[in-house]
């Protein structure tokens, strides 16, 4: 059994073609070539634990990911998120490897999903990227977008000047031309690729602010309670794409729009079908497209298998 630390994982990540690995996962998921049971949840007073797990018939290993969020951790000088991934042989059930990634791979695979959605759905050319939120996921989204988008003009929105200052500093040296704003409407007015990464429970982006020819990647909402987009954005969009139609029925932006009755399920397309060619994405550069990411175990399965391959 191999035990791999976060430093070891970070050392091999740059050499892995994560985009292809995770695209393969989304296609397998949408084509039903994998087993992904419902997410396990342990909700305690101090924090939450989510267990995502499953197997792809083509992979040697099944994967169980344990991820936690403890909101009180920052006061103790610890990150709120944590986690690990376990790989087991599909032949024998033997534990093969533990990736002690402390939740990092969840952040990365989520950012890769954002990049994949931009690859298939962003208008051409992207003139300016709007990033909403100033946390680690916002950084990762920008970094991974550079693998599929040439644009380096970025407008970042945050709730405070101090957060935006830290965000700007964290991205120094990565080649972005980064402006900041406290006005969310400015994101809609000037950016044609927008990525939302907050934990908002009320819309931060309004339908009236969105220009034609925009792609929006909605990352933040992955529960029934969180929401970043006003449901009018989904109602008006030319294409609404889910990572998992099944999950988006129960959580995320699509859930909110279905609940409000402004869209019906039959308009929603699954990302894996878009990648696989079974469904059509953007057909003109003037359309508005939305990708709603809630996080699917196939992403964890594929990134864990890819990291294992790179280390061995």
Question: Which residues belong to the active site?
Answer: 65
75 binds a copy of itself (CB under 8 A): no
Taking CB under 8 A as the rule, does residue 70 contact a copy of itself? yes
Instruction: Report if residue 189 touches a copy of itself, rule: CB under 8 A.
Output: no
Q: Which helix (H) or strand (E) is 129 found in, with range?
A: strand 129-132
Whether the upstream peptide bond of residue 167 has omega within 30° of 0, thus cis, is no
> What CA–CA distances, in Å, run from 259 to 75, 224, 240?
36, 10, 15
Residue window 78-117: x/- pattern of binding to a copy of itself, with contact defined by CB under 8 A: x---x-x-x-x-xxxxxx--x-x-----------------
- Which CB atom, from 44 or from 284, has the smaller least distance to a copy of itself? 44
| Shorter beta-carbon distance to a copy of itself: residue 78 or 161 | 78
Q: Which is nearer to a copy of itself, 48 or 153 (CB)?
A: 48
Q: With CB under 8 A as the contact rule, which of the stretches 56-64, 108-116, 147-155, 172-180 interacts with a copy of itself? A: 56-64
Contact flag: residue 312 with a copy of itself (CB under 8 A): no
Q: Are 109 and 299 in contact (CB under 8 A)?
A: yes
**Cα separation values, 42 from 46, 51, 55, 238, 255, Å:** 11, 8, 22, 37, 22
The residue from 53, 61, 176, 308 that contacts a copy of itself (CB under 8 A) is: 53
- State in angstroms the smallest separation of the CB of 246 from a copy of itself: 16
Total residues binding a copy of itself (CB under 8 A) = 40
Rule CB under 8 A: choose which of 24, 30, 68, 207 binds a copy of itself. Answer: 68
Work out whether 277 is an interface residue with a copy of itself (CB under 8 A): no
Structure tokens given for 241: 């794409």
- What span, in angstroms and rounded, lies between the C-alpha atoms of 174 and 167? 12
Note whether 183 and 205 are within 8 A (CB).
no
State which of positions 1-40 bind a copy of itself (CB under 8 A): 1, 3, 35, 37, 40
Q: Position of tokens 């990411």?
A: 293
User: Judged by CB, which is closer to a copy of itself: 42, or 260?
Assistant: 42
Distances (CA, A) of 15 to 60, 133, 185: 21, 28, 38
Token look-up 């040697």 returns: 60
What is the per-residue DSSP string for 25-48? HHHHHHTT-EE-PPPEEEE-SS-E
Residues 97/308, Cβ–Cβ less than 8 Å: yes
CB of 296 to a copy of itself, least distance (A): 15
- Which residues contact a copy of itself (rule: CB under 8 A)? 1, 3, 35, 37, 40-47, 49, 51, 53-55, 57, 62, 64, 66, 68-70, 72-73, 76, 78, 82, 84, 86, 88, 90-95, 98, 100
């Amino acid at each position: 059994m191999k035990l791999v630390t976060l430093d070891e994982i970070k050392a091999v990540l740059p050499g892995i073609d994560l985009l292809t690995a995770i695209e393969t996962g989304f296609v397998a998921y949408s084509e039903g070539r994998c087993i992904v049971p419902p997410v396990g949840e342990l909700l305690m007073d101090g924090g939450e634990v989510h267990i995502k797990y499953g197997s792809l018939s083509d992979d040697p290993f099944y994967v169980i990911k344990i991820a936690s969020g403890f909101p009180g951790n920052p006061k103790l000088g610890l990150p709120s998120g944590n986690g690990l991934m376990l790989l087991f042989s599909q032949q024998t059930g033997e534990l093969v490897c533990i990736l002690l990634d402390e939740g990092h791979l969840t952040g990365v695979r989520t950012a890769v999903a954002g990049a994949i959605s931009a690859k298939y759905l962003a208008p051409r050319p992207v003139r300016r990227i709007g990033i909403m939120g100033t946390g680690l996921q916002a950084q990762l989204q920008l970094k991974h977008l550079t693998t599929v988008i040439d644009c380096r003009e970025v407008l970042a929105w945050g709730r405070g000047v101090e957060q935006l200052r830290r965000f700007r500093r964290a991205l120094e040296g990565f080649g972005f031309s980064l402006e900041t704003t406290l006005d969310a409407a400015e994101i809609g007015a000037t950016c044609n690729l927008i990525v939302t990464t907050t934990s908002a429970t009320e819309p931060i982006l309004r339908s009236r602010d969105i220009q034609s020819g925009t792609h929006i990647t909605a990352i933040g909402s992955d529960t029934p309670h969180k929401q970043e987009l006003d449901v009018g954005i989904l109602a008006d969009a030319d294409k609404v794409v889910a990572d998992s139609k099944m999950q988006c029925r129960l959580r995320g932006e699509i859930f909110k729009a279905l609940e409000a009755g402004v869209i019906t399920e039959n308009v929603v397309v699954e990302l894996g079908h878009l990648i696989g060619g079974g469904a059509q994405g953007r057909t003109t550069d003037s359309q508005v497209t939305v990708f709603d990411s809630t996080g699917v175990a196939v992403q964890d399965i594929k990134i864990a298998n890819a990291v294992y391959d790179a280390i061995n």
